[in-house]
Amino acid sequence: MGVVPTPAIAYAAEQYGWVGIAITASHNVWSDNGIKVFASGGAKLGDAEQIEIEREWHAMVAEPVVRAEPIIHDATGIIGEYATHRLNIVGEALSGVRVVLDCANGAMSHVAPEVFMSAGADVSVIHASPNGRNINDNCGATAPQQLAAQVIAEGADIGIAFDGDGDRLIAVSANGALVDGDHIMAIAAVDLAHRGLLRNKGVAVTVMTNLGFHHTMRENNIDVVITPVGDRSVLVALDEFDFVLGGEQSGHVIHRAHATTGDGLLAALQLVEYITRAHVTLDQAASIMQTYPQVLVNIRTLNRVHDPVADIADQIAQEEAELGDDGRILVRSSGTEPLVRVMVEAADQISAESIAMRLARSIVEVHGGSIEGTH
């Protein structure tokens, strides 16, 4: 298929029943390249399947045997099919909207601008000159500051920042305000619900989704299923509960009626189509959800901690009781290194920071180590 967005590979796996493999650093720098694998049908492989593939791969590398000559087919035309499929969802509904696209010097560089222009938008593009090493380099969804400045400078209606492989997005309003995945999902969920298109009137989000999102869903009688971190976990929940919308705060948004994975282009088209149809600004649309201050603290422990909650359960319960409905606490271990992550949301920043630091100090007292910082 060549250099294409990861969602296009998932699309090919879905449409043609192929196994799809993407070599990508995702939202990271080029040197962090890894592999994403999609099963026939377009869903990402589960952990057990990936572990088994890695085991067999290492065995083959240790004792390489040529089993068959590969047959290579030219599938470069599928990127056009993918772009047309996404375009047909919104048609020419973006007429008159001024959009700035930050393509992260990545795989969306030669796809997203053409689709947005075909949909009728007045498009300006930055960071769309990939050279293989400048991907996600101080640009894109993980660094949208230049996009925000460009939106203001051009007087654009909205800015969209993709990550390098195009499976996530962050939006920027005309005033330069960042609009994350939680807000993008909240806007889509309420709109779909009002139009009778939110199947089973529910959404799937991860444990990191802001408390404000949950409050907005409750106010609109929309059910929320909470999953572990990762868009793969969200997809499992979407299929289990037969929902059509889910995602992550980081900008992975899955419109399950149209895709099998997070797709920044699809989510961006849907978002811009909504503000055009509703005749609202992005700031007005995003006001549907209040963001609660969220503080994250990493504690590097002396050893891996498998159940960081158990030793401070009473303290967590006490802090949660004081927060009531105006806050939330999440304590979890990293799956890859000796880190414990504390997340606290509260009605104000000072309260969130105070609670997070009290819990972090307690974890250090029990397990040793040090606090690495807050953000």
Catalytically annotated residues: 26
CA atoms of 58 and 187, how far apart (whole Å): 45
The three-class DSSP label of residue 204 is strand
Neighbours of 228 (CB within 10 A): 14
Nearest of 131, 248, 120, 115 to residue 181 by alpha carbon:
248
Residue 172 pairs with which residues in a beta bridge?
159, 178
CA atoms of 283 and 293, how far apart (whole Å): 18
CA atoms of 227 and 230, how far apart (whole Å): 8
Residue 205 pairs with which residues in a beta bridge?
226, 247
Burial 336-350 (b: 16+ CB within 10 A, else e): eebbbbbbbbbbeee
Q: State how far the alpha carbon of 238 is from the alpha carbons of 151, 193, 254, 265, in Å.
A: 34, 16, 9, 20
- What is the length of the chain? 375
Stretch (H or E) spanning 275 = helix 264-278
